[in-house]
Amino acid sequence: MSTTTALEGAPAPLALSALYAPVAKEMEEVERILRDELRNPHPFVDELVRYGCLLGGKRLRPALLLLTAKAIGPVRRDHLVLAAVVEMIHTATLVHDDVLDEAEMRRHLATVNARWDNEASVLLGDYLFTHAFYLASTLDTVLGCRLIGRATNIVCEGELRQKGSRGNFELTEQEYVSIIEGKTAELTAVSCRLGALFSGASEKLAGEMDGFGRDLGIAFQIADDLLDVLGEERTTGKSLGTDLEKQKPTLPIIRALELATPADREELLELLTGDQRQPHLVAPYLERYEALDYARDRAASFAQSARRRLDLLPGSPARNILTLMTEFVVSRSS
Amino acid sequence: MSTTTALEGAPAPLALSALYAPVAKEMEEVERILRDELRNPHPFVDELVRYGCLLGGKRLRPALLLLTAKAIGPVRRDHLVLAAVVEMIHTATLVHDDVLDEAEMRRHLATVNARWDNEASVLLGDYLFTHAFYLASTLDTVLGCRLIGRATNIVCEGELRQKGSRGNFELTEQEYVSIIEGKTAELTAVSCRLGALFSGASEKLAGEMDGFGRDLGIAFQIADDLLDVLGEERTTGKSLGTDLEKQKPTLPIIRALELATPADREELLELLTGDQRQPHLVAPYLERYEALDYARDRAASFAQSARRRLDLLPGSPARNILTLMTEFVVSRSS
């Protein structure tokens, strides 16, 4: 299970942080909160927790929260705290992902399980989750806790559903979208909802911003899954697409299976799940049924839906950046 | 790292549930909440989550919360919800412990990692943690979230500190107590504090009840660690005490090392940490320095301190049971 997104894996990180210009000062504040919170008097805990904090990467979720907030009203202290909270939760899921994937590197750093061990990763992830919840509870209102608790639970449910669907190539497109909506888009959605609500947005506007973050998250994840298959195509036989290697059904495969003739379908399933699996040989089938183009179109369509939801916002630099973000995702998967 | 307690491992579970008589009806309500909450429309998630729910065992923490509440005032709906929350958090830590310990059985059931795999355990634990936080946030006040978020974070910190202290036989008794206070006693302490506060207790009384749960938790863990060494003694050379096997310094060892002559100390350290470790040969040293008796006395002294704190409560069946609980722990380690 991977909760990294296409945007985060982008080769030009500078471009992305430049995007945060309208909230640059606020993002610095968030870094300060993260640094201050993720400090511990016990040396071993301190070392681990600080290292974990470095792994989070591009700070996409805090940026979404703050940009949404700024597009609607003034950015307040509560926003900064909540931005740190969503980043901590994201980092917790990454640290636990690395245990499951037995990954060795993340963002040019050794993963926690590679540098320490799985035990350290499990405990560090738990520490980050619980610290995030505690931090959310320092606000005066229970609203932040409620939205973050619910969203995080849906993320975990999505991860479990994805695990349960491994090797199930009967999975429909609808089920696939519902799973990535849980595991990836729920957290981007709640980031935008929190940004809006704590800027005094109406329920209606907050719901639209939630929808924006949700569509954006889904577009990201489709694009990310697509890159996994594309990596596969380019390096045929060398480095297997990790999703296919793990029998994780993603959109291009689902699409090809849906359109395939009975004979092609049988061959494809044999390559994916047979006794002598050869997932690196799926490319011709994806091409035959234009499955990659289809997945690209679906990502673009979710990105467009996200973009349209921004129409409710008044014009502002923050809104412009949110619009740009919806374009990033599509540009990565073509 | 084990957060099981002496009481929970007791051979006569009936005796313990009989202890819950003053809150028997409320405990049934808590079971109902747990059952209702830990249900999921997705079959794989549902199966895992329901299985996890069975692993929790004796429901000690909800019982502490409800007994404390009842000893002070009426038990309300909020208490029942919070009791379910602390049990879910406890279960989450157990599920993650089983990953780390590579345990195969818990309470006569296969552990989640044995029945499914480590990935399922990590995700299920995360699901339980986040569901607990969400459930806490359904209350009107942020107080429950705040106390539970903070306590759970301290539990994780305690687990990390314990991990960091493995193989460190310089650990002092004070540091050892501080670690078990975090990893075990913080959750029993907050259970009692929540029970008290939501019954309208003053800050002073709530603090005393927190202290009761804390002393009780420390006594439990000392007793539990002692049983690990005793198991060791009885089955010399066959089944190593798991704590010693993992180079986890516990009180009897810390005490023996503290009192040992330089020569004995060197021999003992060689047995515990040398190239050819033989932790099953430590028994004579523990005997020579009366280290087991000392640990027993320390457990008894924390239990007594817990008992004394109950003096602030008016007489009631609930208070009587809380008193009885402080005796259980000592009876197990003699």
**Separation of alpha carbons A330 and A298, rounded Å:** 10
> Does the beta-carbon distance from A164 to B140 stay under 8 Å?
no
Residue B180 covered by a domain: yes
Cβ proximity of A221 and A229 under 8 Å = no
Which long-range CB contacts under 8 A does B139-142 form with residues at least 24 apart? B139/A142, B139/B78, B139/B81, B139/B82, B140/A142, B141/A142, B142/A137, B142/A139, B142/A140, B142/A141, B142/A142, B142/A145
- Which residues from chain A sit within 8 angstroms of residue B160, using beta carbons? 42, 44-45, 48, 120, 123-124, 127
Looking at the domain assignment, is residue B196 inside a domain?
yes
Supply the DSSP string of B170-212, one letter for each residue.
Answer: T--HHHHHHHHIIIIIHHHHHHHHHHHHTTT--HHHHHHHHHH
Listed residue (A119, A171, A173) closest to A299, CA to CA: A173
Q: Categorize the per-residue pLDDT at A82 as very low, low, confident or very high, splitting at 50, 70 and 90.
A: very high
- For residue range A215-238, what is the model confidence (pLDDT) as tens digits? 999 999 999 999 888 875 554 333
Q: Which residues pair with A105 in a beta bridge?
A: A110
Say if CB B247 and CB B272 are below 8 A apart.
yes
Q: Is residue A286 part of a domain?
A: yes
| Average pLDDT of chain A, as a whole number | 88
Cα separation, B280 vs B286, whole angstroms: 11
Total of domains in chain B: 1
Per-residue pLDDT of chain B (334 residues; tens, 9 = 90+): 344 444 444 444 446 677 899 999 999 999 999 999 999 999 999 999 988 877 767 899 999 999 999 999 999 999 999 999 999 999 999 999 887 766 666 766 777 777 788 888 999 999 999 999 999 999 999 999 999 999 999 999 999 999 999 999 999 999 999 999 999 999 999 999 999 999 999 999 999 999 999 999 999 999 999 988 887 555 433 344 678 888 899 999 999 999 999 999 999 999 998 888 887 789 999 999 999 999 999 999 999 999 999 999 999 999 999 999 999 877 764 4
Domain of residue A267: give its range. Answer: 13-332
Q: Which chain B residues contact residue A165 at CB under 8 A?
A: 44
Q: Which residues on chain A are in Cβ contact (under 8 Å) with B141? A: 142
Domain membership flag for residue B115: yes
- B7 domain residue, yes or no: no
Given a cut of 60, is residue A12 above it in pLDDT?
Answer: no
At B81, which CATH number? Answer: 1.10.600.10
- Whether B85 has its CB under 8 Å from any CB of chain A: the answer is no
CA distances for A46 relative to A53, A113, B96, angstroms: 11, 16, 21
Contact A160 B134 (CB under 8 A): no
Residue of A nearest to B42 (CA): A161
What does DSSP say about strands B105-106 and A109-110: parallel, antiparallel, or unpaired?
Answer: unpaired
- Cβ atoms of B64 and B191 within 8 Å: the answer is yes
pLDDT of amino acid A227: 87
Q: Is A152's CB within 8 Å of B138's CB? A: no
pLDDT at B116: 80
- A4 lies in some domain: no
A-contacting residues in B 104-133 (Cβ below 8 Å): 118-120, 122-127, 129-131, 133
User: Got the DSSP string for A219-240?
Assistant: HHHHHHHHHHHHHHHHTTTTS-
Positive or negative torsion for Cα A227, A231, A236, A237: negative
Q: Is residue A7 part of a domain?
A: no
Write out the two tokens for B46: 């549902």
The CA angle A216-A219-A225, to the nearest 5 degrees, is: 140
What are the pLDDT digits (tens) for B65-97?
Answer: 999 999 999 999 999 999 999 999 999 999 998
Cβ proximity of B229 and B292 under 8 Å: yes
Distances B123 to A114, A242, A302, B111 between C-alpha atoms, Å: 19, 19, 28, 14
Which residues of chain A neighbour B85 with C-beta distances below 8 Å?
none
**Backbone phi, psi, residue A110, to 5°:** -65, 140
Residue B1 lies in a domain: no
Positive or negative CA dihedral for A92, A97, A99, A105? Answer: negative
